[in-house]
């Protein structure tokens, strides 16, 4: 189920479960994980795309099951104008495909400039080009997920 407003995720993700953040690219998928209180995002790993959706989905479903994930935040690469681009359409289709395989709440989150912001921060911390290349996708996924967590208010609503 793709929610219209990312703030709805707080109400759809069962207590004790996490959100998985995805930065979907053509060659890799950066993956980040929230804590169970939906407050903090942490980089998890970078999955190399295998060319077939079925293989990518199997790797993501394994992570979902292993880490107790109850919802997804998928970075949406809007054009700087705010409109769609070919990559935006590709990510929307990826979201529809993954939700057809596993029905769970998911939100698309504007990820404009997320990779650029993460890269600038890594350069500012004097990180080597090789190290940046190795972790930029998962750190960008954490940046996307943290933005969504901040917007939904962090923490669970009182019962």
What's the pLDDT at 155?
53
Domains and their CATH numbers in the chain: 6-152 (3.30.420.140)
Strand order in 28-34's β-sheet?
41-48, 28-34, 18-24, 69-76, 106-110
Mean pLDDT value of segment 52-71: 96
Mean residue pLDDT of the chain comes to 88
Q: What is the 3-state secondary structure (H, E, C) of the chain?
A: CECCCHHHHHHHCCCCCEEEEEEECCCEEEEEEECCCCCCEEEEEEEECCCCHHHHHHHHHHHHHHHCEEEEEEEECCCCCCCCCHHHHHHHHHHHHHHHHCCCCEEEEECCCHHHHHHHHHHHCCCCHHHHHHHHHHHHHHHHHHHHHHHHCCCCCCC
User: Is residue 10 within 8 Å of 152, Cβ to Cβ?
Assistant: yes
Q: How many residues does the chain have?
A: 159
- Residue 4 φ/ψ, nearest 5 degrees: -75, -40
Q: Is the pLDDT of residue 159 over 50?
A: no
As a whole number of angstroms, the distance between CA 147 and CA 7 comes to 11
**What is the biggest distance separating any 2 CA atoms in the chain, rounded to whole angstroms?**
47
What's the pLDDT at 157?
46
Distances in Å between the Cα of 57 and the Cα atoms of 69, 96, 125, 148 are 14, 12, 34, 22
Confidence of residue 75 (pLDDT cuts 50, 70, 90): very high
- The predicted-structure confidence for 100-158, as pLDDT tens digits, reads as follows 999 999 999 988 666 666 667 767 767 677 766 667 789 899 999 999 999 998 554 44
């Amino acid at each position: 189920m793709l929610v219209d407003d990312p703030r709805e995720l707080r109400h759809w993700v069962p207590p004790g479960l996490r959100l998985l953040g995805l930065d979907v690219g053509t060659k890799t998928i950066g993956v980040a994980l929230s804590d169970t209180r939906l407050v903090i995002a942490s980089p998890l790993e970078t999955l190399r795309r295998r060319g077939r959706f079925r293989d990518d989905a199997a790797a993501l479903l394994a992570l979902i099951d292993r880490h107790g994930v109850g919802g997804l935040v998928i970075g949406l690469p809007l054009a700087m104008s705010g409109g769609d681009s070919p990559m935006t359409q590709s990510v929307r289709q990826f979201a529809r495909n993954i939700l057809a395989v596993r029905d769970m709440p998911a939100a698309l989150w504007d990820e404009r400039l997320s990779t650029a912001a993460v890269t600038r921060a890594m350069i500012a911390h004097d990180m080597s080009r090789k190290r940046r290349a190795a972790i930029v996708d998962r750190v960008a996924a954490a940046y996307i997920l943290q933005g969504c967590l901040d917007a939904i208010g962090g923490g669970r609503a009182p019962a």
